[in-house]
Structure 1
């Protein structure tokens, strides 16, 4: 009687496929670095910065003090935002984490903005803030007043803001699910550029005189 051991070629090759897959996986794991400190002398890309030569990495690449003190308060917003992204804190590169701090004077605001590269969690260290986000579903708005010890999450890419709604300075610490989440303020994107006022008026359905006023506030031209 003829043996049927070769009747199913898939079964015959399964052990070989398993061994090949294991070797490929093992070699790829062996090539994975413990870290990829950003080499800022090279351009950034969709997957982050290229890795700094490991032999040139020092402990200072894993330490950052940029959030230790408040930034410079803006006269316009009465707030200061300081970030610790991969282009400032090179040790974060590729780790999918980063931080920021927002200091708000009484009545201060961190205006409408978004982070296209990552979601955000904001923790109120001191003071009272009113925070809100706008969903892309029927532009629904979610607003909440938060006190010390409370936090709020902003899904990736959604517009959101903070307002100091208390009677003392507020400090908010923020963490992101990306080492380079990006930051775009709506006001700066619309009015801090050189797009001609007449064209911007048509694109936004805003009055040209109001646009010129807003451009003057945020440093735009045209």
Structure 2
């Protein structure tokens, strides 16, 4: 009899595990405060210092997605970065962008020139970029599959960390001279928001 009870308990526990899943990201919904202002974020492009603007509609809070409008000045760059918790779908509304992402092991670059109305997908966690190559400003909408996708701007994280990564590590990792490491460190800052 004890073996039947034990077998029954094991089956119940096993069947419970079969129904296990992540809880829904939807916890509640949030009605936007009309007084809330869009957050403006300016960042040096690394080429000519063109700013870009990001706006997150507050009504998306807790729905498990993010939506960002990105305005690119002429020659504006959204430098190589990654979203560790989200896939990004970019739709170009105006202008022309050169976009791409890199896979790893072995590294392979996938790029495309986007024109108005084109869509491009950047897989979760992969390093990607966007560069305005048109003769006018460009505007894009990016949808991300997380309400908290995170962003790691690669050059800033590596050369602008605080405290700084040891020069010996960067020299060996990038196979460059210490003078170049110091120069690159002087070009970056720690604000990766």
- Same topology, TM > 0.5: yes
Q: Which residue of 2 aligns with 1:142?
A: 110
Task: Give the unaligned 5+ runs of structure 2.
Answer: none
Q: Which residue of 1 aligns with 2:182?
A: 212
CA apart distance, 1:100: 1.6
Change (3 A) 1:209 1:182: same
1:48-197 correspondence runs (5 A): 59-60=31-32, 65-66=37-38, 71-72=41-42, 74=44, 76=46, 77-82=49-54, 84=56, 89=58, 92-93=61-62, 95-193=63-161, 194-197=164-167
Tell me the alpha carbon deviations over residues 119-158 of structure 1, each in whole angstroms, 9 at most, x when there is no partner: 0000111110010111125211111101111110011111
- Aligned alpha-carbon RMSD (Å): 3.2
Structure number with greater CO (CA < 8 Å, separation at least 6) is 2
Change (3 A) 1:122 1:34: closer
Change (3 A) 1:143 1:64: farther
CA apart distance, 1:210: 1.3
Change (3 A) 1:91 1:126: closer
Tell me the alpha carbon deviations over residues 92-136 of structure 1, each in whole angstroms, 9 at most, x when there is no partner: 22x221012222111111111110101000011111001011112
Task: Give the unaligned 5+ runs of structure 1.
Answer: 1-8, 26-31, 38-57
1:38-53 correspondence runs (5 A): none
Q: Which residue of 2 aligns with 1:41?
A: none
Q: TM-score, normalised by structure 2?
A: 0.73
CA distance in 1 between partners of 2:169 and 2:26 (Å)? 50
Please say which structure displays the higher CA radius of gyration.
1
Alignment length (residue pairs): 168
